[in-house]
Amino acid sequence: MSETNLTSERPKPVAGKAPRRSSKALDWRAALETEAKLSWLFVDIHRLFSKDFEARTKALGMTRVQWRVLFTVDRIQGGLSQTELADITEMEKAPLGKILDRLEEGGWIIRKNHPTDRRARLVYATSKIEKYADRLAQAAKATFAQMLQGVRQSEVRELIARLEKLKRNLGGADD
């Protein structure tokens, strides 16, 4: 979309600066290119996936991360403390608290005081999700379908297994 019109008239490199590329400098660049490409794919796919999903749910004002938290709260019934929720969603407690603030403002969840631990607040999904579950699930499925065009189910499972290995290598939890 955003083509530039500067290419043809870009000035020559600044005098005295052009020949500074040493062979040593070339080395580390070349060695990193392939792996750097891999590592940025994670960011890029995440960004594109979120963009697609949030475009489909714009009317509900639901972000991808809010959906992750809400989905978890709704999946695990019985009231979760925020610390438990942070463990499960692998988020820090501070950003989780803010996301819960927004979900509570939107009427998706409620927080109740823990009956015995006065520090803790238990998080419950409200009935609102029942009304919108289909739309949210449809949006998620549509984005998945978009991403996984032409990818066989067996490939998806293999991909998950490999990515989980990378995650474990980096010290991530196993789910």
Q: Of DNA, a second copy, none, which one does residue 152 interact with (CB within 5 to 8 Å by kind)? A: none
Contacting residues for 80 by C-beta, under 8 A, at least 6 apart: 72, 73, 88, 122, 123
4 binds DNA (CB under 7 A): yes
Choose between 25 and 144: whose C-beta lies nearer to DNA: 144
Smallest gap from Cβ 85 to a second copy, in A, equals 10
104 binds a second copy (CB under 8 A): no
160 binds a second copy (CB under 8 A): yes
Binding to DNA in span 81-110, by CB under 7 A: 81-83, 91-95, 97-100, 102
Choose between 105 and 158: whose C-beta lies nearer to DNA: 105
Q: Of DNA, a second copy, none, which one does residue 97 interact with (CB within 5 to 8 Å by kind)? A: DNA
Q: Of a second copy, DNA, none, which one does residue 142 interact with (CB within 5 to 8 Å by kind)? A: none
Binding to DNA in span 31-60, by CB under 7 A: 43, 47, 51, 55
What is the residue type of 1?
A: M
- 3-state SS track over the chain: CCCCCCHHHCCCCCCCCHHHCCHHHHHHHHHHHHHHHHHHHHHHHHHHHHHHHHHHCHHHCCCHHHHHHHHHHHHCCCCEEHHHHHHHHCCCHHHHHHHHHHHHHCCCEEEEECCCCCCCEEEEECCHHHHHHHHHHHHHHHHHHHHCCCCCHHHHHHHHHHHHHHHHHCCCCCC
Choose between 101 and 158: whose C-beta lies nearer to a second copy: 158
Choose between 76 and 102: whose C-beta lies nearer to a second copy: 76
Contacting residues for 141 by C-beta, under 8 A, at least 6 apart: none
The binding site for DNA (CB under 7 A) comprises 2-6, 43, 47, 51, 55, 63-66, 81-83, 91-95, 97-100, 102, 111, 114, 116-122
